Amino acid sequence: MRLKDKITAITGAGRGIGLAAAELFAREGARVALLEIDDKTGVEAEKLITRAGGRARFIKTDIGDVDSVQKAFAAIEDIYGGLDVLYNNASVFSSRDDGPVSKISLQTWHRIVNINLNGLFYCCKYGIPRIVKSGGGSVVNTGSSASVMGIPGCDAYTSTKGAVVSLTRSMAVEFGQKGVRVNCIVPAGIDTEMLRESSTDNPDFDAKYFFSRAPMGRFGRPGEVASLALFLASDESSYINGAIIRADGAITVTPIS
């Protein structure tokens, strides 16, 4: 019960890493607000967790819409009375539409920036004051291998994920004295729907081939990232603030031809 009675909000909680984290957090005693844009996966996630004996509530949220985010965090306060943990998991990667800056359409650039960067900003803007009000807690952000290394062909995505790392460090300094720790997980090669869709959308990118040549020779599992998020959300990481932690099987430090 490492998160016993902690009020947690997880974005993109309907599938992939977000769902794995929601299930794990609930098993560890948290009350979980499932912030998810898709009605079907959001409802299914709530049913899955509650049937297993956990406490979860689906709150339909479009993190790229500031009004939707504001309403979601107001709902969390109405339902639970506060907030202890914010896990900014949701983001979008569009290999079909993204590309070099010289070729990305303005529509694609603004859409990816709005979800991956503005969305995280909106959630922090309305979530962190509630964590402060509750006496402090944890914010866990989600970067990417694109946060720490150059990756061609996805400049919009890379830009947002680099910004998430910088924003994490700034917020860690700004809110640490108010009892709010802000850290960032940098995952790569996690076997999620988004990774599989990126390979399907872009025939030039064979994810299975690439990650089979990585040091651990396999994809990561959503639960492996969720376990790291649990640690950062819990009091076990009480002196960890402003950290950028890679969960990538050493992919980002190994040259792969």
pLDDT at 36 over 60: yes
Q: What is the pLDDT of residue 139?
A: 98
Give the range among 37-46, 134-143, 242-251 with minimum mean pLDDT.
Answer: 242-251
The catalytic residue among 87, 122, 126, 157 is 157
| Residue 198 Cα distances to 37, 154, 209, angstroms | 20, 11, 14
Task: Give one DSSP letter per residue of 124-139, joined into a string.
Answer: HHHHHHHHHHTT-EEE
What is the pLDDT, as a whole number, of residue 206? 58
209 has pLDDT over 80: no
183 phi/psi in degrees, rounded to 5? -130, 165
Residue pair 152/145 in contact (Cβ under 8 Å)? The answer is no
What mean pLDDT do residues 221-241 have? 97
CATH number of 7-253: 3.40.50.720
Please tell me the predicted confidence (pLDDT) of residue 46.
98
Mean pLDDT of the chain: 92
pLDDT at 66: 98
Q: How confident is the model at residue 189 (pLDDT cuts 50, 70, 90)?
A: confident
Q: Are 134 and 82 in contact (CB under 8 A)?
A: yes
Least confident residue range of 32-46, 113-127, 243-257? 243-257
157 catalytic residue (yes or no): yes
Q: How far apart are CA 179 and CA 50, in angstroms?
A: 30
Mean pLDDT on 193-206: 57
DSSP class of 9: E
- Is the distance from CB of 56 to CB of 22 less than 8 angstroms? yes
Report phi then psi at 21, rounded to 5.
-70, -40
pLDDT tens track for 133-152? 999 999 999 999 889 888 88
Q: What is the DSSP letter of 89?
A: -
What's the pLDDT band for 71 if we cut at 50, 70, 90?
very high
State yes or no: pLDDT of 255 exceeds 90. Answer: no
Average pLDDT estimate for 157-178: 97
